[in-house]
């Protein structure tokens, strides 16, 4: 079954975005039984088992590019993210690097991985609340995820394990 | 005067900056290590039920969630004055050792290992885990992944969830282990021990067989004679989960051995205006600045420190490696002669990896872990408690004070890396002094050798669980302090 993998840390302000999106999706009947929604406060190596053997995956995460206004939601293909040479550690290795490692070992990864990001305003404050602009981005993100799900249906992506 | 900035530091949690101030004659004048860590966690804890701390504090750090889980649970036990049942004690110890084995594996192969396996002067693009795999072989890489998976599986069985365990509560554990699960853990424990043996072989073949690396490990550029700190059991053997805190001087003499609840009698914290991270020191010795020796309160709490404060390991294979470690580095296998070489921490980590794997194997064969008696319901009025465990990076202290309903009114945390803040600063300076001289071209290899000085501590400063895309470029700027002119820029591309 495809997975919507929401990443983040529930106690660091806008890094909580993935958690909020996951909670919103769990209450949305459209997603029931067709896709697994999973929140994970994990990164790097730890994501490989969650993505392995999935026909498709959408990763939801917070990002800080400095190029967009906080709360800006964008969809990216995983190819937009270049692997890091540094493989900094189990925690901070980039997702593309983790995928490269998985491919090296022949672990079946989704043929299609897309990434939904929200531009963060605050990734430092210990808080169980999003900043206003990022909080307002949860609903638009939900709409984009519906479109993603529809596109997978149209493209006949298998929705069964 | 010239300023050299290494920012950000690669391959460690969070972001930090190193400022090296170089005189006109090329000599190093001073070194500042800045850490922009997240602040205010103690404040964040206030007003929350103490039994929730074991789950909340796992979010402090994406690297040591299990350590915070256990320290918080032990502190909560103390807050309620409850002694947990023997089966719960064994389950906590078992899962904690499984976590340790996985964490040390990651550091040895993905973080510290590249410096030795690929070489300190290897291009950054090769000095990483893929470079390690290229050197030691694909099968070895598979074993690394399998070892990590084994540790995570044990955590999932006992801790209820992978990565972020949830089952340790005041008074014990919330989930029992079935016979089938015990059998599975036994197999995983056996696998861990075999992997630990394999790691010793890698250490021998790649690091110890290379005289240049042994010379590097033992060089004065990477040595500090400070006090050492670590938990020990009643026989003064290394123990990650429980025991008394033992502090031993650079001369090998015991300075203190105390119960966790008494930590404030022995540890105080120094503040520098340029860093958010405090500098813990030994209260009875005092803060004398960034200097080593018996008169300075600076101490280290690391895998090497744990070996230095102990009289050995409680498991046979680890004890044999402990003796080889000291016999090789001090010609005294008893361990009574201190090892002060920072880079020997990597080897100490391997000794601990063996111990952790053996402990998983041993405890998995104890039928008491399947007992139903895993919880002693707290009945006392909650008040105050301290929990200390050894995190992979050093002694981790959680201290909570609550109201009569168990709501946290005050919290104090000293995390593993914080213990080593002063020592890390000193190590960076010492390494830089040995490497940065007049006319020295600052190469990528030079920078990496400076970073190696603190990478051995496996420092962890970050709290955010992840970043996308995750690249961490490295930029070095050399200024002429008199004119402000930039005289050199070195960038490490990701």
Strand order across the A3-7 sheet: A36-40, A3-7, A56-63, A112-119, A73-77
Quick check: A101 contacting B, CB < 8 Å? yes
- B92-115 pLDDT, tens digit per residue, is 999 999 999 998 988 888 777 788
Q: Which of B101, B470, B491 to mutate to test the interface with A (most CBs of A within 10 A)?
A: B470
Minimum distance, in Å, between the CA of residue A38 and any CA atom of chain B: 13
Q: In sequence order, what are the beta bridge partners of B410?
A: B401
**Is there a contact between A86 and B148 if contact means CB atoms under 8 Å apart?**
no
In contact, B260 and B411? CB cutoff 8 Å? no
Lowest mean pLDDT: which of A33-42, A63-72, B12-21, B83-92?
B12-21
Query: Are the beta carbons of B41 and A81 separated by less than 8 Å?
Result: no
Of B287, B289, B281, B303, which is closest to residue B227 (Cα–Cα)?
B281
Q: Do B472 and A82 touch (CB under 8 A)?
A: no
**Going by DSSP bridges, is the β-strand pair B244-248/B227-232 parallel, antiparallel, or unpaired?**
antiparallel
Chain A residues closer than 8 Å to B455 by CB: none
Test B145 with A105 for CB contact under 8 angstroms: yes
pLDDT of residue A82: 52
Interface contact A123-B464, CB threshold 8 A = yes
Cβ contact, residue pair B469, A84, below 8 Å = yes
Cis peptide before B469 (omega within 30 of 0): yes
Q: What's the ipTM?
A: 0.75
Contact flag A62-B142 (C-beta cutoff 8 Å): no
pLDDT digits (tens, 9 = 90+) for A113-142: 888 999 999 887 888 999 999 999 999 999
**Contact criterion met (CB < 8 Å) for B466 and A11:** no
- B13 and A CB contact within 8 Å: yes
**B38 neighbourhood in chain A, CB within 8 Å:** 12, 124, 126
Angstrom CA distances, B223 to A42, B70, B303, B344, stand at: 35, 32, 15, 9
- B488 backbone dihedrals φ, ψ, rounded to 5°: -160, 135
pLDDT of residue A155: 63
pLDDT score recorded for residue A124: 77
Instruction: Of B399, B455, B465, B391, give the one whose Cα is nearest residue B64.
Output: B391
A95 touching chain B per CB within 8 A = yes
Give me the pLDDT at residue B156, please: 94
CA distance B399 to B397: 6
Across the interface, do B162 and A96 touch by the CB < 8 Å criterion? no
Q: Kindly state the DSSP code that residue B85 receives in the 8-state scheme.
A: P
CB B239 within 8 A of CB B362: no
CA B122/CA B126 separation, integer angstroms = 6
Q: What is the bridge-based pairing of β-strands A56-63 and A3-7? A: parallel
Cross-chain CB nearest to B13 (options A7, A91, A95)? A91
Query: Is some CB atom of chain B closer than 8 A to the CB atom of A65?
Result: no
pLDDT above 90 coverage of chain A, percent: 32
CA distance B419 to B229: 9
pLDDT digits (tens, 9 = 90+) for B7-63: 333 333 444 567 777 777 777 777 777 665 556 788 889 999 999 999 988 877 666
d(CA B283, CA B61): 27
B151 CB burial (10 A radius; 0-12, 13-18, 19+): buried
- Say what the pLDDT of residue A154 is: 65
Label each residue of B441-482 as H, E or C: CCCHHHHHHHHHHHHCCCCECCCCCCCCCCCCCEEEEEEECC
B380 touching A (Cβ < 8 Å): no
Q: Which residues contact B167 (CB under 8 A, 6 or more apart)?
A: B158, B159, B160, B173, B174, B175
pLDDT for the residue B438: 55
Contact yes or no for B411/B403 (Cβ under 8 A): no
Q: Which two tokens stand for residue B203?
A: 């250490």
The residue behind tokens 């500090």 is B224
* Six token digits for residue B466: 């992840």
Nearest CA in chain A to B37: A124
The verdict on A67 touching B (C-beta cutoff 8 Å) is no
Cβ-nearest to A95 among B133, B141, B468: B468
A61 touches chain B (CB under 8 A): yes
Distances (CA, A) of B421 to B124, B135, B404: 26, 33, 36
Nearest CA in chain A to B59: A9
Partner residue opposite A94 with nearest CB, options B164, B463, B470: B470
Q: Whole-angstrom Cα distance, residue A1 to residue A54?
A: 6
pLDDT at B482: 54
A142 touches chain B (CB under 8 A): no
pTM of the model: 0.86
- Chain B residues with CB inside 8 Å of A105's CB? 138, 141-142, 145
B473, B9 Cβ separation under 8 angstroms: no
Q: How many helices (H) and strands (E) does chain B have?
A: 15, 16
Interface A–B counts its CB contacts (< 8 A) at 142
Taking the Cβ of residue A12 and every Cβ of chain B, the question of whether any pair is shorter than 8 Å is answered with yes
Compute how many other C-beta atoms are within 10 angstroms of the C-beta atom of residue B308. Answer: 28
Q: Do B465 and A42 touch (CB under 8 A)?
A: yes
Q: Which residues in chain B show pLDDT less than 50?
A: 1, 3-15, 462-477, 479, 481, 490-494
Nearest to A148 by CA among A49, A22, A31: A31
- How many whole angstroms separate alpha carbon B158 and alpha carbon B175? 7
CA distance B49 to B407: 4
Q: Do A87 and B133 touch (CB under 8 A)?
A: no
Q: Whole-angstrom Cα distance, residue B456 to residue B346?
A: 6
Per-residue confidence (pLDDT) for residue A40, from 0 to 100: 84
| Chain A residues with CB-CB distance to B151 below 8 A | none
Bond preceding residue B131 cis, omega within 30 of 0: no
């Amino acid at each position: 079954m495809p997975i919507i993998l929401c990443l983040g840390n529930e106690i660091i302000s806008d890094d909580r975005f993935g958690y909020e999106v996951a909670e919103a999706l769990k209450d949305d009947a459209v997603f029931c039984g067709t896709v697994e929604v999973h929140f994970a406060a994990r990164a790097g190596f730890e994501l490989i088992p969650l993505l392995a053997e999935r026909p498709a995956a959408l990763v939801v995460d917070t990002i800080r590019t400095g190029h967009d206004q906080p709360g800006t939601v964008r969809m990216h293909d995983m190819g937009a993210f270049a692997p890091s040479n540094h493989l900094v550690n189990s925690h901070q290795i980039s997702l593309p690097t983790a995928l490269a490692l998985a491919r090296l070992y022949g672990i079946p990864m989704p043929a299609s991985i897309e990434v939904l990001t929200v531009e963060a305003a605050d990734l430092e404050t210990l808080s169980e609340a999003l900043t206003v602009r990022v909080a307002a981005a949860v609903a638009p993100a939900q709409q984009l995820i519906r479109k993603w799900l529809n596109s997978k249906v149209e493209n006949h992506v298998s929705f069964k394990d | 005067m010239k300023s050299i900035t290494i920012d950000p530091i690669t391959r460690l949690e969070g972001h930090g900056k190193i400022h090296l101030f170089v005189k006109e004659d090329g000599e190093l004048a001073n070194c500042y290590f800045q850490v922009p860590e997240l602040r205010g966690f103690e404040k964040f804890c206030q007003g929350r039920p103490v039994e929730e701390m074991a789950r909340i504090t796992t979010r402090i750090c994406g690297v040591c969630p299990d350590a915070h889980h256990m320290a918080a649970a032990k502190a909560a036990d103390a807050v309620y004055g409850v002694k947990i049942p023997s089966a719960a004690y064994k389950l906590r110890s078992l899962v904690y050792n499984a976590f340790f084995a996985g964490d040390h594996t990651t550091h040895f192969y993905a973080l510290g290992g590249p410096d030795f396996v690929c070489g300190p002067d290897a291009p950054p693009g090769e000095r990483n885990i893929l470079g390690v795999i290229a050197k030691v072989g694909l099968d070895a890489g598979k074993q690394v992944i399998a070892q990590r998976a084994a540790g995570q599986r044990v955590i999932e069985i006992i801790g209820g969830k992978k990565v972020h365990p949830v089952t340790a509560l005041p008074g014990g554990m919330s989930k029992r282990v079935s016979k089938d699960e015990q059998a599975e853990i036994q197999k995983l424990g056996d696998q861990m021990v075999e992997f630990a043996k394999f790691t010793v072989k890698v250490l021998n073949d790649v690091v110890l067989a290379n005289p240049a690396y042994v010379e590097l490990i033992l060089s004065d550029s990477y040595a500090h004679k400070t006090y050492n700190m670590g938990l020990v059991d009643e026989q003064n053997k290394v123990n990650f989960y429980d025991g008394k805190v033992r502090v031993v001087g650079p001369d090998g003499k015991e300075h203190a051995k105390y119960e966790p609840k008494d930590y404030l009698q022995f540890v105080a914290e120094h503040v520098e205006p340029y860093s958010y991270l405090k500098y813990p020191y030994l209260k009875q010795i005092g803060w004398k600045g960034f200097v080593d020796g018996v008169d300075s309160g600076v101490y280290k709490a690391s895998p090497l420190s744990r070996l230095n404060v102990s009289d050995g390991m409680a498991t046979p294979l680890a004890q044999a490696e402990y003796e080889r470690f000291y016999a090789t580095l001090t010609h005294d296998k008893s361990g009574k002669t201190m090892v002060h070489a920072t880079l020997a921490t990597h080897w100490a980590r391997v000794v601990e990896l063996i111990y952790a794997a053996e402990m998983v194997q041993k405890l998995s064969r104890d039928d008491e872990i399947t007992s139903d008696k895993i919880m002693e319901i707290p009945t006392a009025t909650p008040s105050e408690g301290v929990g200390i465990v050894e995190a992979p990076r050093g002694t981790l202290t959680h201290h909570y004070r609550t109201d009569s309903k168990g709501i946290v009114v005050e919290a104090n945390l000293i995390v593993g890396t914080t213990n080593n803040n002063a020592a890390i600063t000193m190590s960076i300076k010492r390494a830089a002094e040995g490497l940065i001289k007049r006319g020295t071209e600052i190469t990528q290899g030079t920078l990496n050798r400076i970073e190696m000085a603190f990478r051995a501590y496996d420092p962890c400063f970050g709290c955010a669980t992840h970043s996308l895309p995750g690249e961490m470029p490295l930029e070095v700027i050399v200024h002429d302090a008199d004119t402000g002119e930039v005289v050199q820029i070195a960038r490490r591309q990701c």
